[in-house]
Chains A and B, each alone.
Chain A
Amino acid sequence: MTGAAIPAPPSREVELTIDGRQVRVPEGTTLLQACRSVGIDTPTLCYLETLTPVNVCRVCVVEVEGSRALVPACSRPVEPKMVVHTDSERVRHSRRVVFELLASSVDLSLAPARVREDMARYGASPERFGPRAARVAQPVKVDNELYVRDYSRCILCYKCVEACGADAQNTFAIAVSGRGFGATIATEFDHPLPDSACVYCGNCIGVCPTGALMFKSEHDMRAAGTWDESRQTVTETICGYCGVGCTLQLRVQDNSIVRVTSPLDHDVTSGHLCIKGRFGFQFVQNR
């Protein structure tokens, strides 16, 4: 936003072909950014602008001529003369199956509308695995007053792990534990959060795309049936604690703050907060 006086490093342009169109983008651009620059809509689940790509969800895969396997667009840099297909039968099939496997095993009911749109676009029908399809269902972990972990909604996108780690908080309280279908996000030795390294910044909640990580206040309201987005407003303000100046988005229902987030595209903290900014608001509503 500011900092206009910092000169951008010079970069060379790379020319490639995407879906038959000639595209020129700066060297180092990813295929996803290149697709978006020419308006080609590419679905993503584990990708977030503020995090390092981890290529785990495979829903952004595209076909690159000469490449044996489909490649993840979110992390693959463009190369000169690449020929890319984003809507081939092979790509559509792969995206469909990824959505079907996820939706048949995970509760996606709180995922953004965009996910349901993408599933419809690729004709994904998770029901085809039948009622006995394996699910990751498990009880909600409620071990502190600030946030809950409902891993039956977890698609293992790693965003929380990255936000807890080197991409934001550098606390490393959580990681992926176990293998295959038994893989899950866990604290070390699966201890409850208060016995873990967690510092309750809630940056994991901020990046979670499926509602697996949630403010306890929101979780309780949903359980009680009082969560009502039609009665909610979102107001941007600045955190009242330290001098960093983090932007807070206060979601308010019935004159009470029910969730705090921070915009990813604000250059002060790129959406990341600390425990006080995320959870320390209660004092204004102890009325």
Chain B
Amino acid sequence: MYAIDPRRTSSAAWADVWLGLDVGSDIALANAIGREIIHAGLTNRAFIERATTGFEAYRESVEPYTLEHAETITGVSASVIQELAHAYARADRAQVCWTLGITEHHNAVDNVFAIINLALLTGHVGRFGSGLVPLRGQNNVQGGGDMGAIPNKFVGGQDVENPEHRARFERAYGVTLPPKRGWHLSEMFEAMERGDLRTLYIIGENPIQSEADAHRARKLLTGLDHLIVQDIFLTRTAEIADVVLPAAASWCESEGTVTSSERRVQRVRKALDPPGGARDDIDILCELARRLGHPWETPTAEAVWNELRALSPWHRGMSYERLEQLGGLQWPCPHDTHPGSPLLHDRLWEDPVEGPSAPFMPVVFDPPVDRLTEEFPLRLTTGRRLDSFNTGVQTGGYASPMRRGETLDVSPEDARRLGVVEGEIVRVVSRRGAVEAPIHVDPGLRAGLTFMTFHFPEQVETNLLTIDAVDPKSGTAEFKASAIRVEKVCVQPALSAAGSAVEAV
């Protein structure tokens, strides 16, 4: 196992090799690996010829990324990059797993393309044990997209701008649907800025604390004509809403399904009665429809699911009965006896390939938007700790013995250089804002790299520092790369909080 992470996380500690690259240098690393595989003659030529397009353009695009050049960009030594390239290409089976370290960047989609290119180069895709594995950070982020809660898709990955797909939904519901995709989250904030979006209905999200550049998010949300928030808590976002609709917790106060990282649809069930006044999401939405003049009944979760199955070929074979019997099914599952699909893209191994070839997508390295300068010399990256989750709305509710609140984690080298000690409160300044936080010295960080979570916004509002430079293709902000400086706030150093454990993530 090779762990590629700017921080020496507990996964990195378990790996055979840790590549501690600089934040945002992923494309330089991937392209150098690709170039090395090509130059060493380790490509899967049969697979490339049969199943892909655009190899020549890719080969030319990676040519500038020599091992030495990649070493200067990434900070990882050329010999280690070479070793990884050879190990990946020679492996019988190899997977690349990634999560937000790849996707929370201004060039998130390019980062993903850079990884996909490596899988196409070696044929490590579409076979058992090989593959590309984007790990999901929430229990139903996959399901949300599959259910059409993204601006360009209907349920089951069907395209809003595809007339044939659209016609299916127009027929089913007897309405005309807009032929253009909608806005994603970042575009909604832009539309608020322009004044084109004046009313917002938020379900189960706390953007006032979770968005990058929190100052801007707060200003835009408070400037709306009308804000409705449906949530299980009176979150900070709900506090500024005109209307709050208290909801039941989907995973234990409600019936339904969620879809995991591996496309596995599983049943969630009601174990608890929600507190008084809180209602099931389906109940709220149908009641709202009735108030708006549509005579909707309140269907059961299973009836809603069956409606979805009628319209989504991916889910057609997933009755509640089968989901319960089999402990979940992975889509696509097109009919009632289909076993589900643990594997995707195996069509690339058919001869001749069924359907379109997989294109190489050449990409170029583009460093993080928030540049390091003398004024802002340190890189801040954000993420989670093991026992906490996102803005802490849920995990704040239990007494974790591992919790120690927000800290600015710095390397021992930087702590010495800055003259700061464990527990000392410092001022953290970025181009967008400043916060105060205690120092935690983490030997897992390299000099120049700092780390914070966003779990404790009531204590430290980390997202005042982060940048909302957004990837135009995915709409994701570059949470992973801000430029900061650290200022001392008190003359007397605080007492060292010795013995605090280094957290595992």
Binding site for B on A (CB under 8 A): 1-6, 144-146, 170, 193-195, 198-200, 233, 235-245, 247, 250, 252, 255-257, 266-268, 274-276, 279-287
Contact = CB atoms under 8 A, between A and B. Distances in A.
B273 interface: yes
B251 A237 contact: yes
A179 B430 CA distance: 57
B272 interface: yes
B450 interface: no
Contacts of B142: 243
Given A243-B137, A256-B272, A276-B389, 9 more contacts: A193-B401, A199-B402, A238-B251, A238-B260, A243-B142, A245-B262, A275-B387, A276-B395, A287-B275
B468 to A, nearest CB: 24
Interface string B115-128: 00000000000001
A1 B328 contact: yes
Given A245-B139, A275-B387, A283-B397, A240 B342 contact: no
Nearest to B14: A170
A238 B143 CA distance: 13
B267 A237 contact: yes
A255 B252 CA distance: 11
B399 A145 contact: yes
A247 B273 contact: no
A242 B269 contact: no
Contacts of A283: 233, 393-398
A238 B128 contact: no
Contacts of B259: 245
Nearest to B142: A243
26 contacts: A2-B330, A2-B342, A144-B401, A146-B401, A194-B401, A237-B268, A238-B251, A240-B139, A240-B251, A241-B139, A242-B139, A243-B136, A243-B139, A243-B142, A244-B260, A245-B258, A256-B272, A257-B252, A267-B327, A275-B387, A276-B387, A276-B395, A282-B397, A282-B399, A284-B253, A284-B397
A207 B288 CA distance: 46
Given A2-B330, A235-B271, A199 B504 contact: yes
The 10 closest A-B pairs by CB, nearest first: A243-B136, A245-B260, A283-B397, A240-B251, A235-B271, A145-B399, A243-B261, A282-B398, A144-B401, A282-B397
For chain B, what secondary structure do more than half of its interface residues adopt (helix, strand, loop), or is it mixed? loop
Contacts, number: 156
A164 B386 CA distance: 16
B340 interface: yes
A281 B251 CA distance: 10
A268 B260 contact: yes
Interface size class of B (residues with CB under 8 A): 35 or more
B250 interface: yes
Nearest to A171: B504
A1 B326 contact: yes
B137 A242 contact: yes
Contacts of A146: 398-401
B267 A245 contact: no
A144 B403 CA distance: 12
A48 B402 CA distance: 29
B141 interface: yes
Contacts of A6: 128
Interface string B321-339: 0000011111000000001
Given A243-B138, A244-B261, A279 B398 contact: yes
For chain A, what secondary structure do more than half of its interface residues adopt (helix, strand, loop), or is it mixed? loop
A280 B135 contact: no
Nearest to A143: B401
Nearest to B388: A276
Interface of B: 14, 128, 135-139, 141-142, 232-233, 249-253, 258-262, 264, 266-273, 275, 326-330, 339-340, 342-343, 386-389, 393-402, 499, 504
B257 to A, nearest CB: 9
B395 A199 contact: no
Contacts of B136: 242-243
A200 B250 contact: no
Nearest to A267: B327
A145 B252 contact: no
Given A2-B330, A6-B128, A240-B394, A279 B260 contact: no
Contacts of A266: 327
Contacts of A241: 138-139, 389, 394
Contacts of B275: 287
A243 B136 CA distance: 5
Question: Which of B272, B340, B387 has most chain A Cβ within 10 Å?
Answer: B272
A280 B271 contact: no
Contacts of A250: 252, 271-272
B303 to A, nearest CB: 19
Contacts of A5: 128, 342-343
A2 B329 contact: yes
Contacts of A195: 499
A227 B128 CA distance: 47
Contacts of B261: 243-245
A267 B267 CA distance: 15
A236 B268 CA distance: 7
Contacts of B327: 1, 247, 266-268
A200 B326 CA distance: 30
Question: Which of B139, B141, B396, B399 has most chain A Cβ within 10 Å?
Answer: B139
Nearest to A284: B249
A267 B389 CA distance: 24
Nearest to B136: A243
A245 B264 contact: yes
